[in-house]
A and B are shown apart, each in its own frame.
Chain A
Amino acid sequence: MREEKLDVTGVRDNVLDYLTGRFGLPRSLFDEYSFYLTSKERIYLGPKSVPNNVRIVTIGLMVARATGPIKPTTNLLQVFGRHVKKNIVSLGKEQAISFLKGEDVRLSQPGDASEGYVLVKYLDYPLGCALLKANALKNMLPKAKRLSVKYI
């Protein structure tokens, strides 16, 4: 882990611009945290203060990759999902179950969300991130998070 804070490099602004622009997340949600860049070009959101005399294995939550266009993680959208104001796709029960299993979901009708990364919701539950394209959700759930849910 490169213990380099991104606040000063402009990356913080890039990530925040994306999150506020795409999802309507208020910038103030991130005031208490710093962005960190790892050697694998991943961006993490973590605590502002870290000790400078101990090697860090990992910090906070991975929120996006630093290479290519910003792709938000499911972990990030689950944490801040309740603050997301736009580009939300709400699923019914059966579709939500498929989504949680890791399947792609075809939508019956176009909604308000524009093509690109969206927050997938079921009722008030932020389920995670998907790529919306041609009226279908491409599943982005990491393999470890794909689960068969019995009670929903």
Chain B
Amino acid sequence: MFVIPEGFKERYSQIVDDPEAFLASLERLTPKSFRVNSLKASAEEVKARFESYDMTVRQMPWYGDAFVSENPDVGSTLEHCLGWIYIQELVSMLPPLLVREELGSASWVLDGCAAPGSKTTEMAAIMQNRGTIVANDLDYSRIRALKFNLEKVGALNTMITNRNLLDFPENQFDVVILDAPCTSEGTMRKSGAMFTNWSPTEIPKYSRIQKAMIVKSFDLLRPGGSMVYSTCTFAPEENEEVVDWLLKNRQDAKLETITVEGMKLSEGITGWEGKEYDSRVKLARHVWPHHNDTGGFFMAKVTR
């Protein structure tokens, strides 16, 4: 049975605008979504093909390649089989979008925690296979899925590395994407089972790793480069506090304003459980599940 723990309700009722709507949204499954892989097909082609299958798909106003479909059979289409579409949660499509312009002219890109490849494949599409994307992941068991997905979409501008990001050799990337390992509270909509394991005790452990990772990722940026830090969790310790840590430790880090036209985003919070954060963390954004019917997400755009 789907039960949201009391501790969870208490924690987040303090920071969401509408706790009731927030909690209600968690009891529904996240809509099935996919992204058109523009390395192989266009949104128009895919839309027309899905119409011919009598499958209803809805194009997202904030990203022409993003679609939602209530049909459970999206994965059994020829388009999916051939890598014309990539099944991906809507919010997971956001980090590459925030640096879409930079990616257009980037020659050197790092995806710090790349497996299974959702963001790497999206960036390869935005870059139209130009430049170089280093898709790194620490976990060797996940590299296989990453390789499979990169091949499936036809990515030619990628190379895979299997390093602890914290030991990644010195480099000067134009763009870095750090979709950090996290407690994944924002994905709990998908499966109620995850809530049975929910406990805030895991949060500090992740927060420590994320702080080390965000600083390291920033150090891998060239001056003038752009970076996106993101998580799929609600915990401010893994979000605002991590961005605050970067601002405290790197004077040349600048937070950028984030807008995604057609999607409702919420400002970062500047304090949590007695801690005060740098007021600039307001520029970071939460995506709350009840605002756009998506999973939960957090993102900050940083330039050097």
Identity of the chain A residue whose Cβ is nearest the Cβ of B131 in the assembled complex: A47
Asked if A134 lies at the interface with its beta carbon under 8 angstroms from chain B, I say no
A51 B156 Cβ-Cβ under 8 A: no
Asked if B76 lies at the interface with its beta carbon under 8 angstroms from chain A, I say yes
A125 to B55, CA, bound (A): 19
Identity of the chain A residue whose Cβ is nearest the Cβ of B133 in the assembled complex: A47
A150 B73 Cβ-Cβ under 8 A: yes
Specify which of B73, B82, B108, B156 is in contact with A127 (CB 8 Å cutoff): B82
A78 B169 Cβ-Cβ under 8 A: no
A49 B107 Cβ-Cβ under 8 A: yes
User: Which of A5-13, A103-111, A141-149 interfaces with chain B?
Assistant: A141-149
Question: B146 to nearest A CB, angstroms?
Answer: 9
A56 to B169, CA, bound (A): 13
Specify which of A32, A50, A151 is in contact with B53 (CB 8 Å cutoff): A151
Asked if B272 lies at the interface with its beta carbon under 8 angstroms from chain A, I say no
B159 A78 Cβ-Cβ under 8 A: no
B55 A151 Cβ-Cβ under 8 A: yes
B122-153 Cβ-contact flags toward A at 8 Å (1 or 0): 00000001111110000000010001101100
A119 to B154, CA, bound (A): 16
A2 to B55, CA, bound (A): 46
CB contact under 8 A between A53 and B169, given known A47-B158, A59-B160? yes
Residues from chain B with Cβ under 8 Å of A145 in the complex: 81
A33 B156 Cβ-Cβ under 8 A: yes
Question: B206 to nearest A CB, angstroms?
Answer: 25
A9 to B82, CA, bound (A): 33
B161 A57 Cβ-Cβ under 8 A: yes
Residues from chain A with Cβ under 8 Å of B73 in the complex: 150-151
B154 A149 Cβ-Cβ under 8 A: no
A57 B143 Cβ-Cβ under 8 A: yes
Residues from chain B with Cβ under 8 Å of A126 in the complex: 82
B154 A78 Cβ-Cβ under 8 A: yes
Question: B275 to nearest A CB, angstroms?
Answer: 36
Question: B48 to nearest A CB, angstroms?
Answer: 11
Asked if A26 lies at the interface with its beta carbon under 8 angstroms from chain B, I say no
B40 A79 Cβ-Cβ under 8 A: yes
A94 to B89, CA, bound (A): 32
Asked if A139 lies at the interface with its beta carbon under 8 angstroms from chain B, I say no
Asked if A43 lies at the interface with its beta carbon under 8 angstroms from chain B, I say no
B155 A60 Cβ-Cβ under 8 A: yes
A residues near B (Cβ < 8 Å) are: 32-33, 45-51, 53-62, 75, 78-79, 100, 122, 125-127, 144-145, 147-152
